[in-house]
Structure 1
Amino acid sequence: MAYAEVNGLRLWYEQHGSGRPLVLLHGGFGAVESFAALLPALAARRQVVAVDLQGHGRTADVDRPLRYEWLADDVAALVGRLGLGGADVLGYSLGGGVALRVAIQHPGLVRRLVVVSAPCRRQGWYPEVLTAMAGHDERTGERMRGTPAHRVYARVAPRPEDWPRLWAKSGELLRRDYDWSAEVVALTLPTMLVFADADSVSTAHLVEFYRLLGGGHRDPGGDGTGRPVARLAVLPGLTHHDILGSPALPAAVLPFLTHPVVPPG
């Protein structure tokens, strides 16, 4: 457990287990504690490196807006600092967007990518989710005091008083439009998408996202040689908010991370 100086930021990270590195990136207002339910299963097979992104958890905020692209550069710098080239990266929600940007911006650093409950363009969220995101500001942060996320933040953050500031900066990020579809099409690394069957990302978009990665275009054939490199998992009976705590998530992800992925013949 330590800090790394990257891009003017003291980035907190924790390492658990041994083996090929797997970088974990939490969701908005989260921290490495978000992965508590997953860590035992993942660290039993991998060297897990869990990161607190800018302004989250133990990583203090700096005088810089929150941007997916800059957060991705921070993670890439950490991977380089720790000598983890060829790491797998798994991100959830906000962290899923950051993980996707790491793969896009620093393709040589990422071996396999897992995106959990995150779209590749802003309009992939359901309209009511976009409305809620647009309302994130300091007043929202004040109303969220006492929630589980706030209790973790109050316990571990270097400056607990920055909680409303985090909500304001997150709202500014989440109101910005983005569409990474063209860059997703160009990805060549094995990528797995994981969603809940009642996610905050629309069902139509998860299919669209999978198709951009080369999936869902044709029958793979009787021997499966026509199957795409990309993988899609839709986990039943879950939502965007409880997918991280489900044992179904490591059960779906670990085979993808550990088994050979054969390109289409």
Structure 2
Amino acid sequence: MGYAEVNGVRLWYETHGDGRPLVLLHGGFGAVESFAPILPALAARRRVVAVDLQGHGRTADVDRPLRYESMADDVAALIRHLGLVGPDVMGYSLGGAVALRTAIQHPGLVRRLVVVSAPCRRGGWYPEVLAAMVAQDERTAERMRGSPPHELYARVAPRPWDWPTLWAKTAELLRREYDWSVEVAALALPVLLVFADADEIPIRHAAEFFGLLGGGRRDAGGDGGDRPLSRLAVLPGLTHHDIVGAPALPAVALPFLTHGLRPPG
């Protein structure tokens, strides 16, 4: 574990386990600890590289806005800095968007991609979730003091007083429109989409996202030969907030990352 200097950011990362590398990217206001409940299962099969993104966890903020695109470039630079060959990338929520942008912006760098509870366009969130995002600001940061995310941040952040700044920057990020549908449809690597059945993202968007990747368009046939390279999993009894620590997540992710995939047709 330690820091890597990439793109002007001192990026914190931790390595656990052995095998093919799997880069883990946490959600908003999280850190590598977000994956603690499932890390042993993942590290038993993979060399896990868990990262604290800009302004989160042990990675101090820098003088630039929070953007999915710049954080994706940070992840790509870390992969190259560490000399990771054929890494897979798995991200949750904010980290899912960053993971997706990493694959889009750096074709050929990522072998397989797992996107957990993240839409491919801003309109993929439920309207009430978008409304809550727009309402976030520094006052929200004050109300969140004493919450588990704040307690973790206060314990590990190099500058704990940046907590309101993180909320302000995140709010500005979440207000920005985006639609990556065209870029998603052009992806050539296998992607696993994972959503909770009571997620902040409706199942109809999960189906739309999967359709962009070639899924849900036809019957796979008796021998499964017409199945797409990408996969969709909807995990029952979970929400946007507890899916990241659920045993069902590594249970669907590891087979996708480990087993061979038969090309369609």
TM-score (norm 1): 0.99
Q: Percent identity?
A: 78
Q: Deviations over 1:18-75 (max 9, x none)?
A: 1100000000000000000110000000000000000000000000000000000000
Per the TM alignment, residue 95 of structure 1 is displaced from its structure 2 partner at its CA by 0.2
Please give the alpha-carbon distance, in whole angstroms, between the structure 2 residues aligned to 1:162 and 1:138: 10
> 1:41-52 alignment to 2 at 5 Å?
41-52=41-52
Please give the alpha-carbon distance, in whole angstroms, between the structure 2 residues aligned to 1:120 and 1:232: 14
Structure 1: unaligned runs, 5 residues or longer? none
Q: Deviations over 1:199-244 (max 9, x none)?
A: 0011111000000000000111111100000100000000000001
Q: Deviations over 1:121-174 (max 9, x none)?
A: 000000000001111111111110011000000000000000010000000000
Residue 239 of structure 1 corresponds to 239
> 1:52-63 alignment to 2 at 5 Å?
52-63=52-63
Please give the alpha-carbon distance, in whole angstroms, between the structure 2 residues aligned to 1:75 and 1:255: 24
For the pair 1:19 / 2:19, whether they are aligned, the reply is yes
Q: Which amino acid aligns with 1:135?
A: A
Please give the alpha-carbon distance, in whole angstroms, between the structure 2 residues aligned to 1:202 and 1:147: 27
Please give the alpha-carbon distance, in whole angstroms, between the structure 1 residues aligned to 2:107 and 2:153: 32
Per the TM alignment, residue 85 of structure 1 is displaced from its structure 2 partner at its CA by 3.1
SS in 2 for 1:109: coil
Residue 127 of structure 1 corresponds to 127
Aligned residues of 1:73 and 1:102 also touching (Cα < 8 A): yes
Residue 157 of structure 2 corresponds to 157
Residue 183 of structure 2 corresponds to 183
Please give the alpha-carbon distance, in whole angstroms, between the structure 2 residues aligned to 1:53 and 1:201: 22
Residue 227 of structure 1 corresponds to 227
Moved over 6 A (4+): none
SS in 2 for 1:107: coil
CA RMSD in angstroms, aligned pairs only: 0.5
Please give the alpha-carbon distance, in whole angstroms, between the structure 1 residues aligned to 2:211 and 2:57: 35
For the pair 1:255 / 2:255, whether they are aligned, the reply is yes
Please give the alpha-carbon distance, in whole angstroms, between the structure 1 residues aligned to 2:257 and 2:177: 31
Q: Which amino acid aligns with 2:37?
A: A
Residue 78 of structure 2 corresponds to 78
Q: Which amino acid aligns with 1:6?
A: V
Residue 96 of structure 1 corresponds to 96
Q: Which amino acid aligns with 1:41?
A: A
SS in 1 for 2:112: strand
Please give the alpha-carbon distance, in whole angstroms, between the structure 1 residues aligned to 2:20 and 2:147: 35
Please give the alpha-carbon distance, in whole angstroms, between the structure 2 residues aligned to 1:163 and 1:261: 43
Aligned residues of 1:25 and 1:51 also touching (Cα < 8 A): yes
Structure 2: unaligned runs, 5 residues or longer? none
SS in 2 for 1:123: helix
Please give the alpha-carbon distance, in whole angstroms, between the structure 2 residues aligned to 1:53 and 1:187: 24
Q: Deviations over 1:82-114 (max 9, x none)?
A: 001310000000000000000000122100000
Please give the alpha-carbon distance, in whole angstroms, between the structure 2 residues aligned to 1:142 and 1:84: 39
Q: Which amino acid aligns with 1:218?
A: R
TM-score (norm 2): 0.99
Please give the alpha-carbon distance, in whole angstroms, between the structure 1 residues aligned to 2:36 and 2:161: 25
Aligned residues of 1:85 and 1:108 also touching (Cα < 8 A): no
